[in-house]
A = this chain, B = another copy of it.
Amino acid sequence: MKVLVTGATGFVGQHLIPQLLARGHTVTAVARNPSKARGFDWYEHVHFIACDIYQPRENVFQFFGLPDVVIHLAWEGLPNYKELFHFERNLFADYLFIKSLVEGGARHLLITGTCFEYGMRNGCLSEDMPSLPGNPYALAKDTLRKFVEVLPQKQDITFQWARLFYMYGNGQNQNSLIAQLDRAIDSGDPVFNMSGGEQLRDYLPVEDVATKLVNLMEHPQCTGIVNICSGEPISVRRLVEQHLAQRESHIRLNIGYYPYPDYEPMAFWGDAKKFSSITGER
């Protein structure tokens, strides 16, 4: 299939593109920074367009080469979950981009959302729960999905909303937990300061997230909200300890140094049943 990927050089995009290519798809990759894109092995194998997708254009869908599927990952200013620009600026720009794709004839949209759409709720989170976004980022994503859901459709559109949980891997934001840990190990720090570590979360290596997104795209009968998650809660402490073991590091963990963040529930993980029942994948 002809797949358009926005946010191609972002954390998820850079891992998704090689997997799309490996599955035989033709990829048009979009990002603002061509020099960053040239740094990836996949650069030579995609049609790369350097541009700001939010710039108003005549026929956006045509401009991007009439793709069979749009995988829309781009979102500015992450993480900064509490900043108002997520809904004051990003939400509308993103909505208008998607609307113009739909009006141009797009038939299949796969857009990434966030587990924070579930809000301050503990336990196993499944797609049929009403969303209760608790921060401006989650509110913007949740609202975007609702806007797109009420867009009038001239034709039937496959709309997949991939709700991402926690991820780790190469290219991640430098402020995320595992990236900070790797940096501390690489600098030979004796101690790593962290929170109490008892929070239960749902983590996946970013490569597995990319695999699941390709799988989801290849199952267009699986529509609406779909959790992209492991389905298995793990404490942050155990995640960190597993990573230390893998890296054969003996850095000392200063547990309890940071307070638990106030914008996240103590224990939540995704229900993976919808995804696995349709794709057959666990």
Interface of A toward B, CB cutoff 8 Å: 84, 87, 92, 130-133, 135-136, 139, 143, 146-147, 150-152
Contact = CB atoms under 8 A, between A and B. Distances in A.
Q: State the number of copies, please.
A: 2
A128 to B, nearest CB: 11
Nearest to A119: B130
Given A130-B130, A143-B143, A143-B146, 6 more contacts: A84-B151, A84-B152, A130-B131, A133-B146, A136-B150, A139-B146
Nearest to A82: B150
A139 B150 CA distance: 9
Prevailing SS type, chain A contact patch: loop
Contacts of A92: 92
A134 to B, nearest CB: 9
A143 B144 CA distance: 10
Nearest to A133: B146
From A87, A92, A131, residue with most partner B Cβ within 10 Å:
A87
Listed from nearest, the 10 A-B pairs whose CB atoms lie closest are A130-B130, A143-B143, A136-B150, A139-B146, A130-B132, A87-B147, A139-B150, A92-B92, A133-B146, A139-B147
Nearest to A150: B136
